[in-house]
Amino acid sequence: MRERYDTVVIGGGQAGLAMSYCLRERGREHIVLERKRIAERWHTERWNSLRFQFPNWSVRLPGLSFKSDDPDGYAHHSEITKFIEDYARFIDAPVRCGTEVLSLRAEPDWDGYLLDTNDSVVCASRVVVATGPFQRASLPACAKAFPPDIFQVHASRYLGPDQLPPGAVLIVGSGASGCQITEELYQAGRTVYLSISRHRRLPRRYRGRDVTWWSTAMGRMDTRIDSFPGRKMPPSTVITGVNGGHDVDVRRFAADGVVVLGRLNGVAEGRLSLADNAEDILAEADKSYADFERAADEYAHTASLDVPDREEANSVSAPAPIRPVSTVDLKAADITSVVWGTGYGFDYGWLKAPVLDQQGAPVQERGVTKCPNLFFLGLHWMHTFKSGVLFGVGDDAAYIADYITATA
Q: For residues 315 and 18, which has the higher predicted lDDT (pLDDT)?
A: 18
Enumerate the β-bridge partners of residue 5.
124
Q: Each residue of 277-303: pLDDT tens digit?
A: 999 999 999 999 999 999 999 999 999
Phi (first) and psi of residue 13, to 5 degrees: -95, -160
The Cα–Cα gap between 146 and 165 comes to: 16
Q: 16-30, 223-237, 271-285, 386-400: lowest mean pLDDT where? A: 223-237
Confidence of residue 315 (pLDDT cuts 50, 70, 90): very low
Do 276 and 196 touch, CB atoms closer than 8 A? no
Q: Is residue 246 pLDDT above 90, yes or no?
A: yes
Q: Is 172 helix (H, G, I), strand (E, B) or coil?
A: strand
Q: Which domains does the chain have, with CATH numbers?
A: 2-135+346-407 (3.50.50.60), 138-340 (no CATH)
Quick one: which H or E segment has residue 265?
strand 264-268
Mean pLDDT (whole number) for 227-231: 91
CB-based contacts of 351-360 (< 8 A; 24+ apart in sequence): 351/103, 351/104, 351/129, 352/103, 352/104, 352/105, 352/106, 353/104, 353/105, 353/106, 353/113
Phi (first) and psi of residue 240, to 5 degrees: -145, 150
Q: Each residue of 373-403: pLDDT tens digit?
A: 999 999 999 999 999 999 999 999 999 999 9
Phi (first) and psi of residue 266, to 5 degrees: 175, 175
The Cα–Cα gap between 78 and 377 comes to: 23
pLDDT at position 316, please?
46
Mean pLDDT (whole number) for 181-189: 98
User: Given CA atoms 10, 15, 16, 22 in this order, what sign does their dihedral have?
Assistant: negative
Mean pLDDT (whole number) for 186-198: 98
DSSP symbols for 51-103: B-SS-GGG-EETTEE---S-TTS--BHHHHHHHHHHHHHHTT--EEET--EEE
Q: Where are the alpha helices (DSSP H) in 188-263?
A: 211-217, 250-255
Q: Each residue of 116-126: pLDDT tens digit?
A: 999 999 999 99
pLDDT at position 318, please?
60
The Cα–Cα gap between 385 and 226 comes to: 11
Per DSSP bridges, beta strands 136-137 and 205-206 are unpaired
Report how far apart, in Å, the C-alpha atoms of 92 and of each of 59, 84, 316, 391 are.
20, 12, 50, 19
Report pTM.
Answer: 0.95
